[in-house]
Amino acid sequence: MFQKNMELELLIEDLGVDGEGIGKAEGVAFFVKDAVVGDRALVKIMKMKKRYGYARLLKVLSPSPYRTKPLCDYYRQCGGCQLQVLEYTQQLQYKERKVRNNLERIGGFRIAETEYDKQGILFHPMIGMEEPFFYRNKAQFPVGTDKEGNIVTGFYAARSHNIIPNRRCCLGADLNEKILDIVISFMERYHISAYDETSGAGLVRHVLIRYGFVTGEIMVCLVINGRSLPMAEKLTSQLQKIPGMTSILLNVNEKQTNVILGSHVINLWGQDYITDYIGSVKYQISPLSFYQVNPVQTKKLYETVLAYAGLTGRETVWDLYCGIGTISLFLAQQSNCVYGVEIVAPAIEDARNNARINGIENVEFFVGKAEEVLPQWYERERIPADVIVVDPPRKGCDIKCLETIVNMQPERVVYVSCDSATLARDLKYLCERGYELKEVQPVDMFPQTTHVETVVMLSHKKPDSVINIKVEFGEGEGKVPLDNIVKRAAAYKPKERVTYKMIKEYIEAKYGFKVHTAYIAEVKRELGLPMYDAPNAVEELKQPRKHPTAEKVEAIKDALKYFEKI
Ligand code: SAH
């Protein structure tokens, strides 16, 4: 009964995963881009499927109370900000719902209804921004030519490569506009051509701009389809006048591809990188490095990761999918040692360099796939981990990676995710294998868009609670005769091999604290007991270890006595 081009009136009752409004007519759901929950709207059907359809917003008949005026004139054309007409508090609620739904539907988790509901999972309200605009520290503007042959720059229209000539994106820095004006007038004045995607001709492809949020340093990098930029000194002399300008670069990309950056960088003026801080850790960021784009929220995100890691200074920590080691260096300050793994080799170079400039020595970085590096390392070294942090791309963790985490049994797993659907899937896997989801904290890293970042904490389930039984020895009713115990003790033969895990569990149950494998190894060594493979691996650890306290030494000796090792 519904057909293409038909017009109809809808009440928008919900928002879909991509921020589109959802309204129903005669039981059929319609997805309407740019419509907001609470709108009564006139729409036109664009496409019909069996049970649902896609429609275009023609007119808002009565606006939703949550509708706001967009800050950007190009809001509907651009498609970069799917939620800009929705009040910010509603944006936050929408994203919270999205994470919650995925955890419940895909993961099968039960979220606590109130803070007193101790069985459910603690789901914290989203950490939003006070000023949810102009937050990005990085922008990449495509450069092209319009129909009249004028050089244009701005953003690609949604699902296309047509450039919308908007130099004033309200997610980016104010200064972008001034920098773009300088670049475009330079190109016009000296007849520098813009790249044409279809023919592959022309020189300037993109302008990449980066800012150091804390330091105020600025990088401008022109991506070019060639090896040099004519009259470059005219451009650099203009750009240098901007306060904070630190680095003016060229990036060579001669391939006919959608990928923005090539691998070769040419320095025109200043440094090859800019510097920035997250908390007290300093980072050098090159044009090719991945670096979180919202510095205000990144700090909050990393603080949550740190809090969830629950570090005391003694832990062995892994940071999988570590990028340029931002989280690793944050964690290294409060743990014994951190191992970072990342697939992109130049990112690891940055990570090592960042460790060096901060004087952080208790980190080690590996290039490779998390799902390969971690299992191989564990197979070889057998060193347990106390905390594993993962921050994978949208597709989530590889099964081999999750499997190894389960084998390594870290006390805690902290999962940072930019896709709550794959997050829910991976959490389900971990929670079916000995882990318990404890807390969930969504963080709004990308206001005005539908993207949401989530940090969760899982802890390893303890063995079932300890039962205390009062026993009286001796003769008489209700008492246990000592003879029996002696007989049973004589019959009891301790197992050949007492594992570190058994010792740890014994100590935790009896003394209420944990001891590191390395400490057990140290005590065993001092006592001259036979050593197996694990302690040798521990000995090879490159980071200097602290020694166990007297209390721990006593507890370990007690455990060794209990297991009849001494
Ligand atoms: N934790 C970092 C980066 C997170 S982005 C930060 O906060 O800045 C995810 C990272 O995972 C990217 O740097 C990407 O290159 C890397 N990556 C993607 N697949 C990977 C894999 N299989 N193994 C290891 N790293 C991977």
Query: Tens digits of per-residue pLDDT, 235-264?
Result: 999 999 999 999 999 999 999 998 999 999
Are 285 and 273 in contact, with CB atoms under 8 Å apart? yes
Higher pLDDT, 454 or 464: 454
Residue 513 has a pLDDT of 86
Q: Is 473 exposed, middle or buried (0-12, 13-18, 19+ CB in 10 A)?
A: exposed
Checking if the pLDDT of 304 tops 70, the result is: yes
- Please report the pLDDT score of residue 494 as a whole number: 41
Q: Judge residue 139's burial from the number of C-beta atoms within 10 Å of its C-beta, 0-12 exposed, 13-18 middle, 19 or more buried.
A: buried
Which residue among 292, 321, 415 is best mutated to probe the pocket of ligand 1, counting the most ligand atoms within 8 A of its Cβ?
A: 321
Is residue 138's pLDDT more than 50? yes
Q: Average per-residue pLDDT in the chain?
A: 90
Alpha-carbon distance of 565 to 532, in angstroms, equals 14
Residues 396-412: what's their mean pLDDT?
97
Distance CA 44, CA 144 (A): 33
Give CA separation, 89 vs 13, 15, 43, 479, in Å.
17, 14, 26, 66
Task: Tell me the pLDDT band of 84, cut-offs 50, 70 and 90.
Answer: very high
What is the structure's pLDDT at 118?
77
Ligand 1 atom with least separation from CA of 341: 24
Q: How far is the CA of 92 from the centre of ligand 1 (A)?
A: 26
Among 343, 363, 402, 419, residue to substitute to test ligand 1 (most atoms within 8 Å of Cβ): 343
CA distance 43 to 59: 7
The DSSP H or E segment spanning 406 is: helix 399-408
**Distance, CA of 302 to CA of 297 (rounded, Å):** 9
Quickly state the pLDDT bin for 465 (edges 50, 70, 90).
low
pLDDT for position 464: 53
Structure token digits, residue 114:
């109130």
Which of 344-353, 500-509, 519-528 is predicted most confidently?
A: 344-353
- Closest residue CA from atom 22 of ligand 1: 369
Nearest CA to ligand 1 atom 21: 369
The CA-based angle 310-311-317, given to 5 degrees, is: 110
- The answer, yes or no, to whether any atom of ligand 1 lies below 6 A from the CB of 322, is yes
Mark whether 337 is an active-site residue.
Answer: no
CA distance 293 to 445: 8
Domains of the chain: 1-67 (2.40.50.140), 138-278 (2.40.50.1070), 294-460 (3.40.50.150), 500-562 (no CATH)
> 211 C-alpha vs ligand 1 centroid, how far in Å?
22
Check pocket membership of 415 for ligand 1, CB cut-off 6 A.
no
How far is ligand 1, taken at its centre, from the CA of residue 492, in Å? 51
- Selected catalytic residue, list 169, 337, 397, 418: 418
390 lines ligand 1 (CB under 6 A): no
Task: Name the band, by pLDDT with cuts 50, 70 and 90, for residue 290.
Answer: confident
User: What distances in angstroms separate CA 65 from CA 34, 53, 92, 128, 130, one per listed residue?
Assistant: 15, 25, 16, 21, 21
**292 ligand 1 Cβ < 6 A:** yes
What pLDDT, in 10s, does the model give residues 418-440? 999 999 999 999 999 999 999 99
Q: Is 318 in the pocket of ligand 1 (CB under 6 A)?
A: no
Average pLDDT over residues 38-47: 96
Per-residue pLDDT at 74 exceeds 50: yes
How many residues are given for the chain?
566
For the segment 101-108, the average pLDDT, to the nearest whole number, is: 95
Strand partners, 250: 222, 266
Distance (Å) from CA 393 to ligand 1 centroid: 6
Mutate to test the pocket of ligand 1, among 284, 285, 290 (most ligand atoms within 8 A of CB): 290
**Residue 547, pLDDT score:** 81
Query: What does the pLDDT read at residue 498?
Result: 77
Q: How far is the CA of 351 from the centre of ligand 1 (A)?
A: 12
Q: Provide the angle, in degrees to the nearest 10, between the axes of the packed helices 500-511 and 550-562.
A: 110
Q: What is the pLDDT of residue 490?
A: 54
Nearest to 29 by CA among 17, 42, 41, 11: 11
Residue from 405, 330, 332, 339 nearest 366 by CA: 339
User: By the 8 A CB rule, do 383 and 534 touch?
Assistant: yes
> Which of 342, 401, 423 to mutate to test ligand 1, by most ligand atoms within 8 A of the CB atom?
342
Which band of pLDDT confidence, cut at 50, 70 and 90, is reported for residue 476?
Answer: low
Which atom in ligand 1 lies closest to the alpha carbon of residue 418?
5
* E strand map for 376-520: 387-390, 412-417, 435-443, 453-460, 472-473, 479-480
- Whether 474 and 423 have beta carbons less than 8 Å apart is answered as no
> In this structure, what token pair is assigned to residue 58?
């023609």
DSSP 8-state secondary structure symbol assigned to residue 283: E
Which residues are CB-contacts of 408 (< 8 A; sequence separation ≥ 6)?
Answer: 374, 378, 384, 385, 388
Q: What pLDDT digit, counting tens, does each position of 146-170 carry?
A: 989 999 999 988 788 889 999 999 9
Q: Measured in angstroms, how far is the CA atom of residue 322 from the centroid of ligand 1? A: 5
Ligand 1 centre to CA of 278 (Å) is 18
CB of 344 closer than 6 A to ligand 1? Answer: yes
- Cα distance between residue 25 and residue 3, in whole Å: 13
User: pLDDT class for 537, splitting at 50, 70, 90?
Assistant: very low
DSSP class of residue 72? -
Ligand 1 nearest atom to the CA of residue 302, by list position: 7
pLDDT at 495: 45
Cross-strand partners of 31: 22, 54
389-400 residue pLDDT tens? 999 999 999 999
Cα gap 222→192, rounded to integer Å? 12
Does this model's pTM top 0.85? My answer is no
CA of 429 to the centre of ligand 1 (A): 20
Question: Tell me, what's the pLDDT at 114?
Answer: 76
CA 24 to mean position of chain CA atoms: 36
316 has a pLDDT exceeding 60: yes
The three-state secondary structure class of 264 is strand
Q: CB atoms < 10 A from the CB of 328, how many? A: 29
Contact 368, 345 (CB under 8 A): no
Give the residue, 92 or 508, on which the prediction is more confident: 92
Q: Are the CB atoms for 445 and 398 separated by under 8 Å?
A: no
Is 548 within 8 Å of 527 (Cβ atoms)? no
pLDDT on residue 566: 78
Residue 541: per-residue pLDDT: 43
Per-residue confidence band for 271, with pLDDT thresholds at 50, 70 and 90:
very high
